[in-house]
Structure 1
Amino acid sequence: MRHRQPLSLYFTFLLLSFFLFMSSPIPATGAPTQPVQIHSIEGITEYELDNGLRVLLAPDQSKPTTTVNMTYLVGSRHEQYGRTGMAHLLEHLMFRGTPDTPNALAEFSKRGLHANGSTSADRTNYYASFASNPETLKWYLSWQADAMRHAAIQEDDLNAERGIVLNELERGENSPFRTLTEKMRSTAYQWHNYRNSTIGARSDLEGMQASELRDFYDRYYQPDNAVLVVAGQFDPEQTLSEINQLFGSIPKPERTLTEAPTVEPQQDGERQIILERSGGMPFIAATYHIPASSSEQYILLDLAANILADSPSGPLYKELVENNLATGVFGFAMAHHHPGLIFFGAQLNDTMDIAKAQQTLHEVLEQSAKYPITQAQLDRAKNNWLTQWDELYASTEQMAIGLSEAIASGDWRLFFLERDRVKNISLEDVQQAIHTYLLASNRTSGRYKPTDNPQRAPFETVPDITQLLNEYKGDPTFTQTDAFDSSPENIDKLTQREVIKLPNGTISTAMLVKPTRGNRVQADYKIQFANAQAMNDMASLSAAAASLILNGTATLSRQEIQDRIDALQGNLHFGISGNRLMVSVSTHKKHFADLLQFSLELIQQANYPVKEVDEYKERVITSIRNAMTEPGALANNTLSRHGDIWPKGDIRYVPTYEELIKNIQAINPKALREFQNNFFGAGDIDIAIVGDFEPQQINTVLEDRLKSWKQAPNYERIDMPYHAVKPATFTIETPDKANAVYIARLPIELQNDHPDYPALFMANYLLGATETSRLWTRIRTQEGLSYSIRSSLNVSSFEPSGAWSLQAIYSPAEKERVKSLIDETIQTTLKDGFTEEELADGIRSALNLRSLARSQDSVLSSTWLKYLSLDRSFEWNQKFEEAIQNLTTAQVHQAMKTYLKPDNISEAFAGDFAGKAD
């Protein structure tokens, strides 16, 4: 799949809502002419307005959500020397609003939009998903029209946002991997602006002026440089008319946009970069120049990356991981409008030979005759790629983003053309692409290697996309999906619940048959066993027993298992939660019964091969050692251990990282097989399924496969009772980490069926759970001290036990100021409570978000699985929302004063505070 690395403002999961409706910000100057239809492929139709704005309408009635995506064809490659980071910083400022909408984030939050903005080298995009509503759609379109020409871009806003972007830059500097790949990119490119990080240089950001950003905005944020995508459930005719009305009166600019004349020359020899930093585990990487993503050669190299770095069948895995030179490998091609890069690398631990690993990495990549790929490997990669494409296409929200990336590459129709190209790729084509581009002279890595006989990769240009797509029509078999009512009442009405009794136990089921885009089915099930005492000293072992189910049986290797899953166009995941094996299954309707049956077979037949277990242990231990230098991981572990009351060995005990490493080292295949045989059995099984499937067929599969299983020990839920924790403050030094983390935690004695819970839920929501919350507004919006600050409330459904927590990232130098403002905000809110307007906005926001969540099949499936253990239905969901709807400010204020006790909070600061003090 196409791979981008946007360093962007991720406004993910904005928990939002509001009822005010903003009128169109663009004054009418006369009736605009009708948009002209340009192209139509597989349910997506392109129109063009007089002013050059292109519009893509992708109606999908299968679920009640709408996604709007505005893509501006400007990114970091359009910036000038000394002004890097301008496109990304402007993206941040766009959310500071316009004269008519001075705080866009707050308005999104009030209306229940799940919004996002991101910047890459080639484009900047802004999108929002929301529960389908014509008024919300019109409002968001009107904001996009207003923002296109009326962004405020004030000096005060720039000064506040500058600190947030610098905070984001520091967060990226915490990662040695990210830093090394950025330096490799800047070394691979000598002249092209792809050499620059999207987030920009610190000095450029610190010196940026609002007037410069205004000039940049005026040049690129124009209708003739933008593509607007509307996808999901909406009225196409009405929406196109509203778009024409809102955007049509914006005049087409008189300026002419031209591509920068700089062209990156062919690389004429190996380049090297070595990074030395504190913390983490070593890794190696190599990158090569490749064609633009619109080229036929690009998709060959994209698949080549997947094949060469595949785990466990790829040659990089076999030569590096299996020979104990690395703990894991990776590979990906970067999709760019101009010729881009392909990256390969490997994670090592501190005992491995870096020089030998790097030499082996280069040999595998550049000696294709010695390490040839096979037809079976290509078929596997194609199946996997097409399955991912199908899943992306089946999600309206994700498809809208996929179209944005194709637009950045040159044209939205590349999204479909790339799929068609994958289907027709031959082994010879991929082999030739590897031989042509993976050359030592075309490589940038951590080492230098002179050569007397230099070779050159071909000189590349951007394909003529107009000619390329002239006759392209897409898949002629495309059809639309029926609408689905996601109200709690309708969900309960359509869900079939049943208890299947077997000689060896019961199966509780919740099956919701509904239309889905692409005929996908999502299922979640859990196998429950034993009790807390039986799980003593088995936390790490049980996690490994679940994770390694996919790694081999007596008759199937890890690769053969993955091939079977890919052939069934599915995804399969196993995990452990206490004394419950959690399984997730997703695939196409025609394969669902087979994949479900296969998942059950794997649980019983997994045999934990020695090689796979050893590789798993190396991989997990390397990950733990990386975490031992990360501020967030250290702060979280410290607070978790501080609040721990369980004896060592108890399944609920929180180990130190050193203890965790010892536990992982002790794992062996025999112990894993014994655990599987003792606990992964019948008795108490729950399953929830959502999508397009046949319930009776699935019941038959479940009964046939499970009736012969050995019965597991009787299941008893592992409780997590409330206990008070003595408040404490911890300061953890993490040398050479540019970003610091603050975490606060407070135990709460409350169950989610208590009458106080809706009010406390809303108190936390208004205090720190949204982009209009008190903490976000004070710390981020007003002061610009944190890229991210959030509070959360986690309350048990089973017992009166829970926790309130808060987390923020910030510059280590701002530690005391951040803490002071957090304390001030909490104390002021405890004293004065929330306003009627805040509460009204918060209620609408929360309810809109919950409505949006119910439109997601994965949410419905996981919620039903939880409700089966609680004997609940979505009626409980409805009653909870009614309780939210009827809250008063007095109830919310009282709940906050009752449960949020600042004197009882424990907190941890982790960062390079000593270094900043110097």
Structure 2
Amino acid sequence: MFKVLLFIISFFMLPITSQAFTKVQSIEGITEYRLTNGLQVLFITDASKPSMTVNMTYRVGSRHEQYGQTGMAHLLEHLVFRGTKDYPDVLQQFSQKGLSANGTTSFDRTNYYASFAADETTLEWYLRWQADTMQHLAISEEDLKKEVDIVLNERDRSQNNPMQVLFERIKATAYQWNNAGIAIIGAPDNLKNMKATDLQAFYHHYYQPDNATLIIAGLIDEEKTIALVDHIFSPIAKPTRQLIERTTQEPVQDGERNIILRQVGNMPFVGVAYRIPSAASPDYTALDMAVNILTDRPSGQLYRTLVQDKKLATNISGFTHTLHDSALAFFGAQLSEGQAVNDSQDALNHIIEHIAEHPFTEAELNRVRTYWLNQWQKLYANTEQLSIGLSEAIAAGDWRLFFLERDYVKASTLAQVQEVASKYFIPSNRTSGQYIPTETISRAPKIEPVDLSKLFEHYKGDNHTVTTEAFDPSPDNIQAKTLRQDLVLNNGVIHYALLPKSSRGNRVYANYRIKFSNLDNLSGQATLSGFAASLITSGTDTLSQQDIQDKIDTLNGSLSYHISANQLVVSLSTTEEHLTELLGFSLDLIQKASYPQKELTNFLAQVKRAIQVNSTEPAAKAAYQINRYLSRFDKNDFRYVQSFEEQLATINTINREKLLSFNRKNFAAGDIDISIVGTFNPDAVLDTLKQKIGTWKKAPEYTYITDPYGEYPAKSFTLQTPDKPNAIFLGRLLLPVQNTDKDFPALLVANHLLGGSEASRLFKSVRADKGLSYSIYSGINASAFEPSAEWTIQAIYSPEKKAEITQTIQQTMADIQQHGFTQEELDSGIASIMNMRALSRTQDNVLSATWLRYLENGRDFNWNKQFEERIKALTLDEVNAAAKKYLKFEQMSTAYAGDFEMKK
């Protein structure tokens, strides 16, 4: 009683910033305020990156919809971006102001977020838009009809993936009463018959301050921001309507449920789901640990048994799907053609439901807990992702669940994990793709709602604060702060760009490339080189694949290898204290990779399956057809574009001896670039590089592999992909342009105005005006080394809209060729490009990648600054001239892939 009284007293003694604005609490760098109209406000300050993120989360999702009105929450999210009377064409304004913005809808919430380079004027504008959206959205029947067509196209896209469809079916079968069984995107008939008046009523009921949480994060002055939020949102009246929580608790499942899905193409897949408590329950976290233990690769029981030992699957997966009222634990197994579906399903179910036969170990729990906590720490250290990620905790019931779930993970015990898995992973609580009769049925425990007010009555979280120093992301400051020199060794040269700076969570990002050999020496080895890179983490003579992953997790890091032409590119991230160890470990792995036969066999099976799946996908088929046509290289040339059949044949020639030989010959010293950005000690990094690379042998001398421009007559391909309800349009034109050319800045801006943003001509004509596509864009990519560029247009659409979308693109391009862009478009486009480039310079991982690119092509941020000055100095005549000279749709080769014979 005494503790409760102290809590009440301390609560009411919190300072009140204004009559409408009250401070509630602060937990681990997040401060909560409440306005008298009910709006919850969270502040997350981070001075290390001069950017801001604003996230407005409404506690309304598809579970709040009524019968016959499914898809309403998601459709409303789309219509919000149509704008209001005072904020028309809001997507265009986002682009002009350099906002990286979006919205998402789930079962329990809808959120709208934007990140931008720190600027108080932009912050005020975006907050005013949010406040206006909360009050003045007017939905017209015309806009509703357009957006319904776009949402239907979005739905069709999801139907191309059988695994995604299977999960939808399993979920729908697992929930008989709760709306969680209904797809968020809604039923097609409900969408087509939606009335604007009904959607307007839904909006007015839920888009209110007492049903919303506003999160502001980044480089903010909290006192000024409080005043700004107070000024903008406090005038919104507290709602008089009562929010009624119509929760339908799902009864305890009383027997196995199953579904069968049949579609054309792709490989077999089996899945199984079990209903479990919501994220507020300690049982949920223990079950999440159990799922991670079972599906861990390569040491998890499912992977070892189904993939490695019994060869009943080529890959496995698993995750927990969190909802406000309950959750799902989902497991899946990918099969290759000829693998027995029933045998795989039986084995999958048996392992999950007979954990007592193969009990979990402390080592397994510690492994998945370490990985989970590392991922949590990375999210917490990234202010932008944290501010957006908190929407999920809010949707589950309370933003503090983000921290409480971490506490549950830390406190989880082996006995607890084993016990809850045995309680919930039982046959009568199973929904799968196969029916398996049983003689006796045991029931899962009833899922009780959690009393959140009692749960958090005395919760304070960890008592620590995160402090970071401000950083100026201007090109001049980046150039001045970066240490850029050459480290000359006896066996070669290391070119480096090191930018030490303060970062949230002391995170640091590193990228390096090892250059090797030349075009002639690499004949016929493109696939081999890619596999030699991807499989570096598969094992050494002393470390298994699991040992390597455990080491990376222990170092709170991430590590990846891939091939780019004749370069081995390595990316890693960790914290300051672990950087030199992880960097050294990454270099050791390159030299010591042994490509164990077991891991190689599994990898090849997974790649084969992926190729077989892609061979039926519209996007993959279209890309192959265009790339193959626009390529003149011989079959053994490193740049040759292989067919799906040729890819499979090449894989059959790969063996361990070839991988070892390629690695030892090419992944060596000589010509190396490295860039690092974040909190670290440059001297320690250079010492590590000297120690590790100084003893390496030299790689074959590196020569840049060219990708020369070639002229190809325009050609159109129509590719049939049966039973795929979503189609793809892909157009590509090669151009004799280098990114150092005089015309390139104008061409870059012209493409941006054409299809590079939500304010572009293609977006407006194809999506906004006619509702033909959920996603359409154009891009320009030009080499820094030679006059070779490609201009691309891509869109998804419903197959029956093929002629209409083609005609709309043609008309848009014809108008640009005839009339050009306007001065207003140019001014807005240049402002948008400048703002987005400024935002990108606030991201440490982007800075590291940019410096690595500059090391290769001999540039720096002085060049970056000069390039931006060239963009800002462009005239309308220059941009229109570039568009007319280069962006000629009639010269573009195109591919249309989809089920154009589908019977609706």
Residue aligning to 2:137? 151
Letter in 1 for 2:35: L
Q: Distance in 2 between matches of 1:793 and 1:702?
A: 36
CA shift digits 1:111-160 (9 cap, x unpaired):
11000100000000000000000000000000000000111211111011
Q: Distance in 2 between matches of 1:80 and 1:240?
A: 37
User: What is the identity percentage for the equivalent residue pairs of Structure 1 and Structure 2?
Assistant: 50
Q: Are 1:632 and 2:619 an aligned pair?
A: yes
**Aligned counterparts, 1:204-223, within 5 A:** 204-223=190-209
Residue aligning to 1:23? none
Q: CA deviation at 1:469?
A: 1.3
Q: Distance in 1 between matches of 2:887 and 2:126?
A: 36
Q: Distance in 1 between matches of 2:378 and 2:248?
A: 38
Q: Distance in 1 between matches of 2:448 and 2:101?
A: 35
Q: Are 1:49 and 2:21 an aligned pair?
A: no
Q: CA deviation at 1:470?
A: 1.7
State the SS of the aligned residue for 2:394: helix
Q: Are 1:202 and 2:149 an aligned pair?
A: no
Residue aligning to 2:10? none
1:287 to 273, 281, 289: 273
Q: Are 1:513 and 2:500 an aligned pair?
A: yes
Q: Are 1:112 and 2:91 an aligned pair?
A: no
Letter in 2 for 1:87: A
Residue aligning to 1:70? 56
1:834 to 821, 832, 848: 821
Residue aligning to 1:745? 732
Letter in 2 for 1:225: N
**C-alpha contact 2:752 2:829 (8 A) present in aligned 1:** yes
Q: Distance in 1 between matches of 2:706 and 2:902?
A: 43
Letter in 1 for 2:505: G
Q: Distance in 2 between matches of 1:267 and 1:417?
A: 28
Q: Distance in 1 between matches of 2:527 and 2:457?
A: 57
Residue aligning to 1:433? 420
Q: Distance in 2 between matches of 1:434 and 1:263?
A: 21
Which deviates more, 552-561 or 453-462? 453-462
**C-alpha contact 2:324 2:395 (8 A) present in aligned 1:** yes
2:257 to 264, 271, 280: 271
**C-alpha contact 2:360 2:418 (8 A) present in aligned 1:** yes
Q: CA deviation at 1:482?
A: 1.1
Q: CA deviation at 1:624?
A: 0.6
Letter in 2 for 1:61: A
Residue aligning to 2:876? 889
Q: CA deviation at 1:531?
A: 0.3
State the SS of the aligned residue for 1:915: coil
State the SS of the aligned residue for 2:650: helix
State the SS of the aligned residue for 1:92: helix
Q: CA deviation at 1:903?
A: 2.9
TM-score by length of 1: 0.96
Letter in 2 for 1:905: M
Q: Distance in 2 between matches of 1:597 and 1:330?
A: 31
Residue aligning to 1:544? 531
Q: Distance in 2 between matches of 1:462 and 1:398?
A: 29
Q: Distance in 2 between matches of 1:479 and 1:708?
A: 40
State the SS of the aligned residue for 2:323: coil
Q: Are 1:755 and 2:742 an aligned pair?
A: yes
Structure 1 pair 184–452 and aligned structure 2 pair: CA distance change class (3 A): same
Q: Are 1:408 and 2:395 an aligned pair?
A: yes
Q: CA deviation at 1:525?
A: 0.2
CA shift digits 1:660-685 (9 cap, x unpaired):
01111211101100101111110001
Q: Distance in 1 between matches of 2:458 and 2:326?
A: 25
Residue aligning to 2:232? 246
Q: CA deviation at 1:479?
A: 2.3
1:501 to 472, 488, 494: 488
Q: CA deviation at 1:239?
A: 1.1
**C-alpha contact 1:75 1:122 (8 A) present in aligned 2:** yes
Q: CA deviation at 1:261?
A: 4.2
Residue aligning to 1:915? 902
Residue aligning to 1:12? none
State the SS of the aligned residue for 1:913: coil
TM-score by length of 2: 0.97
Letter in 2 for 1:866: R
State the SS of the aligned residue for 1:182: helix
Q: Are 1:730 and 2:711 an aligned pair?
A: no
**Aligned counterparts, 1:261-660, within 5 A:** 261-322=247-308, 323-660=310-647
Q: Distance in 2 between matches of 1:661 and 1:224?
A: 57
1:233 to 219, 228, 236: 219
**C-alpha contact 2:466 2:504 (8 A) present in aligned 1:** no
Q: CA deviation at 1:78?
A: 0.4
**Aligned counterparts, 1:654-693, within 5 A:** 654-693=641-680
**C-alpha contact 1:338 1:461 (8 A) present in aligned 2:** no
Residue aligning to 1:764? 751
Residue aligning to 1:800? 787
2:812 to 820, 825, 833: 825
State the SS of the aligned residue for 1:293: coil
Q: CA deviation at 1:901?
A: 2.5
Q: CA deviation at 1:870?
A: 1.4
Q: Are 1:124 and 2:110 an aligned pair?
A: yes
**C-alpha contact 1:540 1:663 (8 A) present in aligned 2:** yes
Residue aligning to 2:242? 256
State the SS of the aligned residue for 2:739: coil
Residue aligning to 2:6? none
Structure 2: gaps of 5 or more residues: 1-16
**C-alpha contact 2:279 2:405 (8 A) present in aligned 1:** no
Letter in 2 for 1:395: N
State the SS of the aligned residue for 1:621: helix
**C-alpha contact 1:96 1:152 (8 A) present in aligned 2:** no
State the SS of the aligned residue for 2:151: helix
Letter in 2 for 1:736: D
Q: CA deviation at 1:32?
A: 7.5
Letter in 2 for 1:771: E
Q: Distance in 2 between matches of 1:863 and 1:402?
A: 27
Residue aligning to 1:859? 846
Q: Distance in 1 between matches of 2:890 and 2:450?
A: 64
CA shift digits 1:588-631 (9 cap, x unpaired):
10000000000000000000011111111000010011101100
Residue aligning to 2:11? none
Structure 1: gaps of 5 or more residues: 1-30
Q: Are 1:94 and 2:72 an aligned pair?
A: no
Letter in 1 for 2:185: I
Q: CA deviation at 1:900?
A: 1.9
State the SS of the aligned residue for 1:334: strand
Q: Distance in 2 between matches of 1:538 and 1:382?
A: 40
Q: Distance in 2 between matches of 1:723 and 1:213?
A: 53
Q: Distance in 2 between matches of 1:231 and 1:309?
A: 35
CA shift digits 1:558-606 (9 cap, x unpaired):
0001001110010000001111000001001000000000000000000
State the SS of the aligned residue for 1:907: strand
Letter in 1 for 2:278: A
State the SS of the aligned residue for 1:850: helix
2:22 to 25, 29, 36: 36
Q: CA deviation at 1:747?
A: 0.3
Which deviates more, 790-799 or 301-310? 301-310
